[in-house]
Amino acid sequence: MRGYLIIASSAVLGLASNCLAGLARRQSIPHDGQYIEANSQNNATEWWWAQVGGPVEDGRGPASFHVTFYQGYPISALREAAGGASAPENYIVINGAFANGTVFAYQIPASSSSVTYQGQAVTGTWAGAGEFKNSADLSKFTVRLNAPEFGVTGTLEITSDGPSHFGCNSTTSPYFDSAIPAGTSLSANEEIFYEQLGWATSQPGGDATVDVVLSGSPLTITGKGYHDANWMPQPIDKFMDDWYFLDAQVGPFDLSAVYAAITGSTKDFNTGFLEHSGTILQNQCSLQGSRKDDFVSITPYGLGFDAPSGVNVMKGFILDYTLANGDQYQFNITGLSLVLDQLIYHRWVGSAVGGHVGGEQYSGVAMYDWLNPSLRPYNG
Ligand SMILES: *[C@@H]1O[C@H](CO)[C@@H](O)[C@H](O)[C@H]1NC(C)=O
Ligand SMILES: *[C@@H]1O[C@H](CO)[C@@H](O)[C@H](O)[C@H]1NC(C)=O
Ligand SMILES: *[C@@H]1O[C@H](CO)[C@@H](O)[C@H](O)[C@H]1NC(C)=O
Ligand SMILES: *[C@@H]1O[C@H](CO)[C@@H](O)[C@H](O)[C@H]1NC(C)=O
C-alpha cells in the first residue's frame, strides 16, 4: 500500500478558511496519524508527545525526558511568547530533569513538518529538528533528535507493553462525544471539547530508553515511557479552564487519567484508563460524577508554593478506579521534580504506589501535567 503525505505548510492553505471547515475530521487514517491541518492561518494545534521517566535510585531523583512535536500552539500565551504572528508553526519542545534534579528546556524550530504513512506505520519529520516513527503494529515508538545548533542530539525509544487506545471505550473514535447523552445540546466550548478535541494513545506504557546530549551533557535513562497524540481546532485557553493529565506505570499496571473543566460549562469531564499486563481493566470517559461504576476519581492533595511560577500547586494525586464489576484500585502519585513550571503549565515526574485495594501494592514511575489557563487558584 502506498503511503500518502500531508504537508503542514502554506501549501494547504487553499482550503483554510476562518471557520472550522478546513478542520473537518479525517477518516481512515493511522492511529498515530495526522488528523487536522494546523497552519499559520488558523489557531489549530496538533502534537505528538512522548515521555520517559527513570527510577528513583540511591537518593537521586527520577530523571525524565519529555519531547513534543508541535504544529501550532496549545496555549495562546505560548504563541505570543514565541513571537506572535511570526512564531514558528512547526517546532519541538523538550523538557525534563537530570537525575541530580537540574531541569532543562529547549524549543527547537523546524522549517516545516510532514507526517507520512506507510499503511499504519507513521513517520513525522520536523525539518532541521528531528523525527519520530511509529511502527505499523504500534509496538515501537522512536524519536531521533538532530539539532546540534540548538544543543540537542540523540534518541528515545519506547517498546509498548499495552494496547493502543482512544480516550473513550471505542476502537474507532478518538473524540469524547460518547460521554454526552444523546440529544444534549452543547455550548460552543463544549462542542469544541467533546466533538473536535482528539486524543490517540499509541503506547500507553512500556520499557523505554533515552540517550541524548543536551548542551554537551549526556543524559541516559532506562525507564518507562508513554506516547500519545492530541489535536484541537483552537488553543486550550479558548475553551478550557483547567486540565490534568496523569500517567503512571506501576508494577504490572499502566494507567492514565484526564480531568477537564470546560469554560462556562458544568459538564466536567474525565477519563480513566487502567491496564494490567496488557489487559484493559478500565477505559472510560464520562461526565464527572455521573456514574456509580466504571469511573475514576482524580483527587489532588497537598499544597506547596512553587516560586518559579508564583502559584500554589498540589503535591500529588490519588487516583481511585472503580471498575464496571465494582473492583477497586487505588494509586498514590507524588511529584518529585517539577520539570516545567510556567504560570499556566506545570509538569512533574515522580513516583506512584498502588494496586488492587487490599491486594498487593506496587511502586513505579508517574508523570503528570496541570494546565490551568484560567488561573483558577488551587487551595489544597
Ligand atoms: C487566532 O487567535 C488570535 C489571537 O487570539 C485571533 O486574533 C485570531 O483571530 C485567531 N484566528 C483564527 C483564524 O481563529
Ligand atoms: C546536574 O547535571 C547536569 C548535567 O550533567 C549539570 O549540567 C548540572 O550542573 C548538574 N547540577 C548540579 C546541581 O550539580
Ligand atoms: C472497553 O472497556 C472494557 C472494560 O470495561 C475493556 O475490556 C475493553 O477492552 C474496552 N474496549 C476498548 C475499545 O477500549
Ligand atoms: C500519598 O503519598 C504521600 C507521599 O508519600 C503521603 O504523604 C500520603 O499520605 C499518601 N496518601 C494516601 C491516601 O495514601
Q: What is the mean pLDDT of residues 19-28?
A: 49
pLDDT at 26 over 80: no
Ligand 1: does its nearest atom lie under 6 Å from the Cβ of 172? no
Domains of the chain plus CATH, in order, are: 5-371 (2.40.370.10)
Q: How confident is the model at residue 13 (pLDDT cuts 50, 70, 90)?
A: very low
The cell numbers describing 8, all together, are 503542514
C-alpha of residue 268 to centroid of ligand 1, in Å: 26
State residue 2's pLDDT score: 29
Q: Kindly give the number of the ligand 3 atom that is closest to the alpha carbon of 323.
A: 5
Q: What is the mean pLDDT of residues 267-272?
A: 98
CA distance readout (Å), 248 to 79, 186, 190, 199, 245:
29, 32, 28, 17, 10
200-237: pLDDT as tens digits? 999 999 999 999 999 999 999 999 999 999 999 999 99
CA distance readout (Å), 197 to 157, 256, 310:
27, 17, 30
Look over the chain and give the mean of its residue pLDDT values, rounded to a whole number. Answer: 92
pLDDT at 16 over 50: no
49-78: pLDDT as tens digits? 999 999 988 778 899 999 999 999 999 999
Count of other CB atoms within 10 angstroms of residue 123: 17
Cα gap 91→71, rounded to integer Å: 7
Percentage of the chain beyond pLDDT 90 is 89
State residue 380's pLDDT score: 87
C-alpha of residue 234 to centroid of ligand 1, in Å: 9
pLDDT at 258 over 90: yes
Binding pocket residue ranges, ligand 2, CB within 6 Å: 98, 100, 102, 217
State residue 206's pLDDT score: 98
3-state secondary structure (DSSP) of residue 164: coil
State residue 12's pLDDT score: 30
Q: Which ligand is in closest contact with the Cα of 327? A: 3
